[in-house]
Amino acid sequence: MMMALLRRLGQTAFVLFGISVLVFLVFFATPGADPTARIAGRNASPQTLEKVRAEYGLDRPLPVQYATMMKKLFITQDLASYADRGELVVPEIARAAPVTVSLVCGAAVIWVALSIAMGTIAAAMKGTWVDRGLMILGLIGISMPVFWLGQVANLITQSRYHDTWLFSWVPGLGYVPLTENPWGWFKALVIPWCVLAVMFIGIYSRVLRADLVALSGEDFMRTARAKGLSPSRILLRHGLRTSLITFVSLFGLDFAQLVGGGALLTEVVFGLPGVGRLTYQALTNLDLPLIMATVMYSAVFVVLANAVVDILYLFLDPRVRDAR
């Protein structure tokens, strides 16, 4: 078991290295494009170009360039954005990450809880109007674009009905750090959470229901019924417990890509200064150091989440435990 964990962590490190090389190559070794000009930003002076070239060692071989870049990213953390007047990139991400993490974690709690409830109830009442109703609800959730839903929520809570008793508590757009004011943090985020969660509730509840329904035809579910167990116990302890294996793998990937910047639209709509919005800004400014840093950050999260999912598998599925 311990060995399996270590081996998985080793693999993770290797994959991260691979990704960093890939990202580096995409930005610095693409033929026909001079990275110097791109780092320096639009309309940079020859002096700036010269400075950039020296700083990044762009006149030296690729492995040295790679090492310089990685040193700047992870060790000295002094990668600076020229497009943004020398703003240090790494602290910028470090400031944005908590916002994104707050947003995604809260939404994840909501979507996991609600989708498990909806999926399980729908599977238990398969074929009834409750089942159909829940699944249609899920479908509606999936089909509503998050930016539209966010704008509607803003419209209602920020302007149209802001003065009614129902929404008067809603603070203005923006983020309040948890450490400063927990209640303010909660109030600022609760609507973004719900908006972000809606689509995932739809997807996850439908996936879970389908999985549970498929499982109900399995031999072991029949055995559980033949044992004389109650339907709820069969569904929860045997069905849901087994479905969790699928559920967790799905969740790991979605969660990671959201933390890695995938919550961009929600962040933009609600004015949250998160990683997604940072990436968006970097792209609009063609701010190469920042893009490089955010892509790396995102990759790290996806890979780490994958590792976590795999480790969770070890706990959830004894068969996987033995296969390693």
Binding site for another protein (CB under 8 A): 127, 218-220, 222-231, 233, 237-238, 241-242, 245, 316-319, 322-324
Is residue 80 within a helix (H) or strand (E), and if so which, with residue range?
Answer: strand 80-81
- Tell me whether residue 248 or residue 258 sits nearer to another protein (CB atom): 248
Least distance in Å: CB of 240 to another protein? 11
CB-CB contact of 243 with 211 (8 Å)? yes
The b/e string for 77-96 (b: 16+ C-beta within 10 A; e otherwise) is: eebbbbbbeeebbbebbeeb
What is the smallest separation between the CB atom of 223 and another protein, expressed in angstroms?
A: 5
Q: How far is CA 225 from the centre of its chain?
A: 39
Rounded to a whole number of angstroms, the CA Rg of the chain reads 24
Shortest CB 206 distance to another protein, Å: 21
Smallest separation (angstroms) from another protein to the CB of 111: 24
Cβ neighbours of 261 (radius 10 Å): 23
- Give the residue among 83, 28, 48 at the shortest CA–CA distance from 284: 83
The tokens describing 41, both together, are 């930003």
Question: Between the CA of residue 65 and those of 76, 134, 141, what are the distances in Å?
Answer: 15, 54, 46
With a CB cutoff of 8 Å and minimum separation 6, the contacts of 303 are: 12, 15, 16, 19
Least distance between another protein and beta carbon 18 (Å)? 22
Residue 122 beta carbon to another protein: minimum distance, rounded to whole angstroms:
16
Question: Smallest distance from the beta carbon of 213 to another protein, in angstroms?
Answer: 13
Residues 6+ apart with CB under 8 A from 52: 36, 39, 40, 44, 58, 82
The nearer residue to another protein, 135 or 189, going by C-beta atoms, is: 135
- Comparing CB distances to another protein, the nearer of 160 and 241 is 241
- Of 92, 113, 106, 84, which Cα lies nearest the Cα of 204? 113
SS3 assignment for 211-256: HHHHHCCCHHHHHHHHCCCCHHHHHHHHHHHHHHHHHHHHHHHHHH
Q: How far is the CB of 17 from another protein (least distance, A)?
A: 23
Residue with tokens 């933390």: 259
Specify the residue, 242 or 294, whose C-beta has the smaller distance to another protein.
242
The Cα 76–Cα 20 span in angstroms is: 17
162 versus 225: smaller Cβ distance to another protein: 225
Name which of 180 and 219 has its Cβ closer to another protein.
219
CB hemisphere CA count around 269 (13 angstroms): 23
- Minimum CB–partner distance for residue 241 and another protein (Å): 6
